[in-house]
């Protein structure tokens, strides 16, 4: 499953698609289809130029990241617990502990800690054996990280189950489906996760972190950016994941 996901991430990358188009144009030119080769080359170059613009990434990400209300802790006083779905933790290589955490994991867990301190409610972390080292369970590492931040052990509930959003919510529902939750997740992930929680009959408000766009929709030009290419890829992946959920898993 991990290998298949990596292949999909590679194939939907605008950079990969642009390179493939440029290589195709060369092949057509070698076969004496010069006009076709020129058109394909133009497509590849245009795609690379367009998708490397931060504004284009903003436009693609906006419906994902800014589709719902932004909450404050004062709006969430009726919540029973904070739910933090898994992101990623690097189990390979000789790295300092803090460097093993992906940015989205860091932001989700720190925000959960802030809410826990303010609202005096526990944090629920999920995630099983989906990391490179299958002996490491994500939720147990997340629990340890929260405790190093000062959260008391009795305020962190670890559910070491789930390899994706759907299975994590299923594990959550089994034990805490009756609770009113505040869910802390990445902004690009919020729409899909909200749908999964709703279909599981779990009452939860979503608090967004790890924004990938500025929310600026007014057109602007800037130098091509590799970061914009990555954010465009991330938007494409999330849209495909939403379609997959509604077609195959809902």
CB 213 within 8 A of CB 64: no
Residues 42 and 92 in one domain: no
The domain that holds 184 is classified in CATH as 3.40.50.620
164 located within any domain: yes
- The H or E element that residue 203 is part of is strand 203-209
Same domain for 82 and 21: no
Same domain, residue pair 33 and 85: no
> Do residue 202 and residue 99 come from a single domain?
yes
The pLDDT of residue 5: 75
Closest CA to 190 of 118, 95, 83, 116: 83
The predicted structure's pLDDT at residue 2 = 65
- Domain annotation covers residue 4: yes
- Other CB atoms within 10 Å distance of the CB of residue 195: 15
| Per-residue pLDDT at 1 | 53
- Tokens linked to 55: 């504004």
Q: Which domain holds residue 158?
A: 73-209
Domain presence at residue 5: yes
| Residue 145 C-alpha from the chain's centroid | 20
Neighbours of 103 (CB within 10 A): 12
191 and 120, same structural domain?
Answer: yes
Tens-binned pLDDT, residue by residue, of the chain (250 aa): 567 777 888 889 999 999 999 999 999 988 889 999 999 999 999 999 999 999 999 999 999 999 887 877 777 878 999 999 999 999 999 999 999 999 999 999 999 999 999 999 999 999 999 999 999 999 999 999 999 999 999 999 999 999 999 999 999 999 998 999 999 999 999 999 999 999 999 999 999 999 999 888 999 999 999 999 999 999 999 999 999 999 986 6
pTM of the model: 0.90
Is 215 among the domain residues? no
């Amino acid at each position: 499953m991990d290998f298949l996901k990596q292949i999909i991430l590679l194939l939907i990358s605008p950079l990969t698609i642009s390179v493939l188009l440029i290589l195709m144009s060369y092949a057509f030119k070698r076969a004496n289809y010069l006009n076709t080769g020129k058109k394909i080359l133009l497509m590849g170059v245009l795609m690379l130029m367009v998708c490397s613009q931060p504004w284009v990434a903003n436009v693609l990400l906006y419906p994902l990241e800014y589709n719902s209300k932004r909450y404050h802790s004062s709006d969430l006083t009726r919540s029973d617990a904070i739910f933090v779905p898994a992101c990623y933790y690097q189990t390979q290589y000789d790295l300092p502990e803090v460097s093993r955490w992906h940015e989205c994991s860091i932001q989700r867990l720190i925000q959960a800690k802030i809410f826990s301190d303010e609202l005096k409610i526990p944090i629920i972390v999920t995630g099983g054996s989906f990391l490179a080292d299958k002996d490491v369970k994500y939720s147990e590492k997340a629990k340890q990280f929260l405790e190093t931040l000062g959260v008391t052990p009795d305020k962190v509930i670890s559910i070491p189950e789930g390899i994706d959003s759907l299975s994590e919510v299923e594990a959550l529902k089994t034990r805490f489906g009756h609770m009113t939750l505040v869910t802390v997740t990445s902004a690009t992930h919020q729409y899909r996760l909200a749908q999964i929680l709703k279909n599981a009959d779990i009452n939860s408000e979503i608090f967004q972190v790890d924004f990938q766009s500025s929310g600026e929709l007014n057109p602007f030009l800037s130098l091509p950016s590799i970061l914009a290419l990555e954010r465009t890829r991330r938007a494409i992946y999330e849209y495909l994941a939403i379609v997959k959920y509604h077609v195959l898993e809902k």
